[in-house]
Amino acid sequence: MDLCFLSAEATRDSDNRRHIARRQANTDEVAGRAFADTDFVREQSMDIGRHVAANPAINAIVEELDRAQTRRSRVVRILAPEGGGKTRLLEDAMSALAGRAIYAVRALSWETESPGWVAQRLIERLPAPGRHSGKNARVSGFEAQNLIAGAIGASEPGTLIVIDDAHFADPFSLKTLGTALQLSPRSNVLVILLVDESVASPSATLTRELADTDIVVPYFRLVQVRSLLGQHTGIDAPQELARSIFALTAGEPSTTIAMIEHLAATGWTSLDQIPVPPHIAAPTKATLDGLDDESRALAEHVAVLGTATSWDELAAFAGIDDAESLAARLDPLCEANLLTVHADPGATWVRFSAPLDRNIVLSSLPPTRIRALHLRAAELFADLDIDASLAHRAALSTGQDQELADRHASRAAELADNGDWYSGARTLLTAARLDPTPESATRRRRQGVDGLIEAGHIDEATYMSTAMQSAAPSPERDAVFGYLAVMRGKKSESTMLLERARASLGDRGHAGVTSLASKSVMHALASWNPADMLHWSDIAALDSAVDIPSTQAARAIGGLATLISASDDPTSADEDSNGFAVHSGYVQRFELAAGWGAFAADEPARARRHFESALAISPEKSSERITIQAQAWLAYTHFLLGTWDEAIRIIETAARRVSDLGLELLAPLVHGTGAMIRSMRDDPVGASRHIVHINPPVDSYPLQTIPSAMAAIQVAASRGDYAEVRRAGAPLAALGHDVDFDQPGYWPWFELYAHALVLGGRIREAETLIDPIWRRAEPVGHATTLASIESVRARIAGIRGDHEEMQALLDSSIERVSPLGIPYRLARLHFAAGQTLRRAGRRKEADHSLGMARDLYEQFGATVYVRRCDRERKAGGVNVARGPRQDLTPQEKAVASLVAAGHSNAEVADELYLSIKTIQYHLTRIYAKLGIRGRSELAAMYAAEISE
């Protein structure tokens, strides 16, 4: 016996091979696609951030184009099997590239033995000097090389040349292209070859020799599957349907597209047993037909039990007493790659190699057979696994069943009481479908949706709530829809619905008031209203017996509200249980609140421990919403601690979940830190992947607006664009008139904005901003808030010529933060101090502060600020090595380097803290000393030095 024990990676590889075989079997469809348009030129301009966020592989294409445009021409291969999404990826990339000329040809399978055919079409398409495009007679080899080389040399930097299905191109054409690139060493084009490496051909080998790098087409993500569903169906496809397809295909491009096309053609919208297109199902059905009766029966048993089942469960269900006999029956199924056996310590699992195969097997079963199997499973698991037993009984039902509905509802209450919101919600929704009584079915459906929201599965809750739209209006219905609107970041809608529910229920005395209160607590948190948070938390605490959702969630937020409101005691972060025992299902919420309190108390190490504890809670006792909040705050804590690689890792994980779950309320909290780190690491494309998610609508919650604006402020500051910093911070300054969010430590947004105001000459406005914050932070001695304000005041004192006061403030700010172990805060203070000291003429002290800042930024990988520190130190002229332009003063060198990099006079003035007139004066002297006439010659001079 030779059981196929495979790793997850091997399973996925074999799964891929099976999908490839299915695609190749459909040769007529492939041949038909070969006659599509072969040549095209595109020039499009769209928002790059949207495309990069949807598909990270586009990021790689954009980066390769940047290298080609700024250095030399490059050749890139895009790799995937036939139908694997190469062309689709390229089309998305072309849509993302603004104003690029793109010349493309497609090689056809019968052209491999026809020398020069692809080269000829390239010559006809490219803007070859001296020849009329499209009118050329066939040319010889040397002439073809020269013509293509001339066209490449004449092309604008950033031009793309594409050969689709390059594995079919004739070798002569590929060699001609390679030689032409060598004949154009100063060209700046990007050549993209789309290749199916599963095709063995001399041309495929040549593409490997030509390419500078490979880009492998990634599997689709859930957001892309949903987008494709919308494109094919013409409607806003439910997230849950996309999720079901994604679970079946794992995002494999060609199979996913085939599934979606089949669903669109058949009009299928149910989430249950999604049908598989016949041409994809055919190989599996053929495999089933070739099995003996015992092996096929075993495959049917696994299909009824689920995509995967334990060895012991399968043996009991199939009535096989010994392991040897079960193994013997599994052998043919493993050899056919239909099933895979996974051995883990203490357990062995049997699963379908491809989840699609389960649907194919189930669709092949006659009704009598599938009912008999479900009945046997329901009886077998009655005492072993109540959830499995109930699921099999639900599958047996041919209509509504009150007794079965009640059993599901009872089990849902047990699950929810134990903190397993998601399983409880799904079970309750099943109860609603089984319930023949309209009133109780409506109540259970509403409670099930409520549980999905509490679990953080917002898109699923949105989909399931559609059945509630036709229900009669009620305060309970309004409360659930209002809660859903909160999680989607729709402030006006949630406010209207929750207020209408409150008006209908009255103040107290109604059973629904406590449930409404627990939702209003979250609305108050999103609105950043501590008084309302406490108010609704107190009301929710009046009744601790509410099942879905529990009032302990409201109590956790109430504990946070107490910390926020009690600004005279921010160190009481752990006093969060208020004398009552915390249910095991709600520990995660209290850990999050405690971590947030520790974060605000300038104790990031303690905050990190709480956030990590919140993430360590088992999935059965946690909420996806709370998990994502803990990840967002843990990432920001790592940002402050200088462990930016760990922060990025956490952000990438949380960002995927936010998108998959539809938690729009939390997207800015997650993506904001990512945008800040990537902008400071000089990764504008990476930053754009986050920025696209941190632009909430005007009618959004402060919990969205504040982190979005904080990120925009830092991104602008990374560019040295202080005018943009002022624009990005203005909405928060305006928000402060209506929302009190300047409690010390929670939202440290004001420092960069206040510095930008001072740099813009708006000193009085800066003082009006920081003085109330100082009065609030001083009684409690909140160190980072006070130090940030002292840094701003020191800059103001320097401008006013009070250098003694300036130095005292700078010293005090550093002394406050140094003992706290918050490297990022310290780097910020040293950098600002260096700028202030240099402007005051204290160049040695400035050089020391900037050196301290530089060392810290270098540890973080903040390359933008490392360079800015270097420029500031050069402008100060202390310990700077003499360069080739010795006639320039240190300040002139700093001005020249910034202007040569493309900055405007205003931007240089902001960066170096000088007036625009001073910059103009410096430039006049620079041009005269260097013997040049303007900015373009200055940029060329610096570029030449860099290349040398």
CATH class of 56-132+139-216: alpha beta
pLDDT of residue 461: 92
pLDDT of residue 199: 81
- Quick check: bond before 549 cis, omega within 30? yes
Are the folds of 278-365 and 890-946 the same? yes
Which residue, 791, 636, 605, 612, is CA-closest to 707?
636
CA 236, 238, 244, 247 torsion: positive or negative? positive
**Paired tokens of 747:** 């939202």
pLDDT of residue 785: 96
Domain boundaries, the chain: 56-132+139-216, 222-266, 278-365, 473-581, 890-946
pLDDT of residue 905: 83
Helix (H, G, I), strand (E, B) or coil at 876: helix
pLDDT of residue 344: 75
> For helices 803-817 and 823-839, what crossing angle results, to 10°?
170
What span, in angstroms and rounded, lies between the C-alpha atoms of 329 and 747?
62
Helix (H, G, I), strand (E, B) or coil at 78: strand
**Contact yes or no for 136/198 (Cβ under 8 A):** no
**Contact yes or no for 900/919 (Cβ under 8 A):** no
CA 595, 596, 597, 600 torsion: positive or negative? positive
Buried b (16+ CB within 10 A) or exposed e, 677-693: bbbbbbbbbbbbbbbbb
Cα angle: 291, vertex 271, 667; to 5 degrees: 125
Cα angle: 670, vertex 819, 673; to 5 degrees: 10
Which residues does 722 contact at the CB level (< 8 Å), separation at least 6? 716, 755, 756, 759, 760, 910
What span, in angstroms and rounded, lies between the C-alpha atoms of 831 and 841?
16
Residue 481 C-alpha from the chain's centroid: 26
Q: What is the DSSP letter of 219?
A: P
Mean pLDDT over all residues of the chain? Answer: 83
What amino acid is encoded at 449 in this protein?
V
**Contact yes or no for 551/568 (Cβ under 8 A):** no
What span, in angstroms and rounded, lies between the C-alpha atoms of 296 and 315?
15
Per residue, what are the HEC states of 310-355? EHHHHHHHHCCCCHHHHHHHHHHHHHCCCEEEEEECCEEEEEECCH
What span, in angstroms and rounded, lies between the C-alpha atoms of 923 and 892?
8
pLDDT of residue 366: 93
Residue for token pair 């039990």: 305
Longest dimension (CA), the chain: 95
Which overall architecture, per CATH, does domain 278-365 show?
Orthogonal Bundle (1.10)
pLDDT of residue 398: 87
pLDDT of residue 518: 84
Given a cut of 70, the residues of the chain with pLDDT beneath it are 1-56, 81-85, 87-88, 96-98, 128-141, 235-237, 269-271, 506-512, 542-556, 565-585, 879-886, 944-948
Fold for the domain defined by 890-946: Arc Repressor Mutant, subunit A (1.10.10)
Q: What is the DSSP letter of 462?
A: H
**H-run or E-run covering 920:** helix 916-930
**Contact yes or no for 455/422 (Cβ under 8 A):** yes
Residue for token pair 């200055």: 938
pLDDT of residue 751: 94
